[in-house]
Chain A
Amino acid sequence: MKKKKTIRTQRVKIFKMIDRMAWLIPALLLIWFYFGWSIQGVNILEFFQGSLWGSIVIVIMVLFSVACLSAPIMLIWKAITRALKKSAIQNATFNVLEDFDYYRDKLTGLSPSDISMLTDLEIELKKDITALILKYVMLGVVTIENGIISVINLNHPDLLESDRFLLHTIEAGSITSSSATQWVQMAKTESVGKGYLIDTRGTGEIQKKRSKGCLSALLTGCVTPIIIWIAIPLMVGFLAEGTLTYLDSTIVHLKELSPDASNADFAKALTGNPTEVFQLFILLCSCLILIAALLLPVVSLIFYLVKSNRTQFYKRSALGEELTEQIYGMKNFIHDFSDLSHANKEQLVLWDDFLIYAVLLEENMSIVNEICSMKHMDINGIYRAAQF
């Protein structure tokens, strides 16, 4: 099996973070309960004034209840973020050929948009246009003075068709959403033309991928709940004989409490009998499984829809894989061996290509923000329009 590596792009990092944020839902629910009960005058700490065993049981019960209540939102959240994260990771993953960690030479022959496409099969307007502008400054094609970008030489031999198109739009005064889309398409076509990427449209690969995804969604979303539903009668039998009987006696214990009983007495009545506690946990587990079974079809459908919506038409060619490994090594090298994250655009003369790579490989975002905020360069606005 071929070894694979993933480039830690900003997109991957962001989706991983959003995915982890799902755990905030039960935490917030817990805080909400705490304050809700406190406002109603319930002394929560009283529940923990009994034995250590009782306190542990109460904590576990609360956690189970919170899990049951937060499960619907959490599962749907996870379905969306998992799909986004998975597609971002897939796009940034390449086959390893030589297995090196650092690459120190210049990435000769690769334009900024090629590097961006090879990194994660996507063009990110803000940083890619910034890197291109730095490259144009280096080639002497544009100048930046007093926050204004001026095009001075459109006939430079190193310019590609997409470069000329982009420069025309900059020269015209502003980049619009449609011109940006057109430029992105041109840049992608050029990368395909150079043999770095393969356009899989019309080859049936996308359909194959989608069918595979659909099958896996069907298996997870339908077959698993069916198995659970088949298992439920067995569970009901088990519950009828054991859990429900013990649950009845737990309710009796609770009813026996006097109206002015404290929370500590309530906790004691609830957790006094280990067998009853065990059966209560089985009931809570069953509730959790039931909720999951009910939600799985919806969750799988959402996952499938988000994932298939993010499917890329492009994939790396053999040459592309080789170059992506170099890009991966370059990103590591810049990250570990330089302070380029603190460099400014005036240091372009000093660092030339390496500063451009730092911008492209998301190791320096300050230059991106600086150039994007320049006159006629409202890339932020276009970026927002393109995203939503």
Chain B
Amino acid sequence: MGRQGHQQENYARYLLSTIHENFDNIRKLLGSPADLVTRKVTIGMYGPACGLVYMQELVDMQFLNQSIIQTLQEAKLTLSPQQSPNEILLTLRDSLLPIGNIHNSFTLDDAALKLLEGNCLLFLDGTRQVISLGIKGGKERSIDEPPSEKVIRGPRDGFIENVAVNLSLLRRKLADPNLHFRMLKVGERSRNKVVICYLAGVAQPALINEIERRISTMSVDNVPESGSVEQWIEDSFLSPFPQYQITERPDSAIAGIVVGRAAILIEGTPFALIAPATIADFFRSQEDEYERWTVSSFFRILRFFAILITVFLPGLYIALIEYNHGLIPSKLAFSIAGTREGVPFPAVVEAFMMEFTMEILREAGVRLPKPVGQTVGIVGGLVIGEAAVQAGIVSPIMVIVVALTAIASFTLPAYNFTAALRLIRFGVMAAAAVLGLFGIMMVFIMICIHITNLEVYGIPYSAPLSPATAADWKSTILRLPSAMLRRRPQIFEPMDPIRSQPRKGNNS
């Protein structure tokens, strides 16, 4: 069980042979917690006694009472006194208890882990074995629509915190025997389940092994969220860009799995990671696959321009106002100059001030409870924007720029990617303040240098833009008609490159 940081070891480190000794031992091991329940039950009318140990509310209480304890108490099997305790245990396991998920444990470590995971332990006098009954229960959130990835058209189910349920969601959508789940345990203390889901025969085995290797190198106390795993196994921690796609939607995860990528599900969080991810994956919404191809392709291109606006517009404003007025058509230049009249700050200060305010508003809106959050929107958007212009602190053009930038940044489905772009925007603004349009070009070049140098599991982050795999553009940059997408994207080098074969109908 990894590190055991107990102060004094006044308990035995193995299973003992009587129920009472075991009860005491486990109590000592766990420090007599309030939710530990130990109970003795007699098997049948005259049979031997057995001991049940479980954590309250981690097990399904109703099932425990009605199916386990009742079955044990009403058992009509005749146990001959000659039978050894081990044989009795075997009989209980094989012919009495109505449970599918049942295991024998021989060590205290194993038994304690099972207990803490929500199993019920069953002890018997005279044996150093214990059986654990898989009757995990307890309260959990119901499956509902993922709040972070809303779609207009598409399935409404989302992952929840229970990884077993999440796996079932995947299975339900992809009933393929090749859908494999590889489970690992991560977190020295928390022992979270991390499951790598992939399609055998499509995903590169080397990729799956590498993901497994990276995850198994993790050495942390606990894994509260997929972010902990992501940051541990990513290729470059210096990069502002996310290197894993995160999703709350089973259909997104499946879409990743069928093209030869792997989904990583983590116990305790509804967010799954999809690896490897390149820049094009952050432009995509799962909904694109469900809408008509013309509409989807248009939206994808639109998002691309939205990114450009998000990153460069405020910088461009600064550059054009401060250095390169000549680039603005003269009529527009006059009207901008007119609105800027009386504004006491240079465009740089104005832009930084407003963008900063915008970020503060956004952050406040996220932190506050929902009803208050809307108030922030109104106060921030209307009052501050309007009042700032009225007071002559900023120009109306600046407000337009800020609003456009903010709205454009919301068009991207991937929040983690947008967050990176928002940071870069401030860099662009600083460069524009110092070197104008030339500075913006330099930052643009630097971003390009960074994304071409960054590799995710060896795949260039800039793929499929560069190296340009034109065939992949059909499904990644654009979204052409489904009939044209017969091949899986090549960049992930799927073992089976063909997605669908043309098939003739039977109507003749």
Binding partners A and B: no
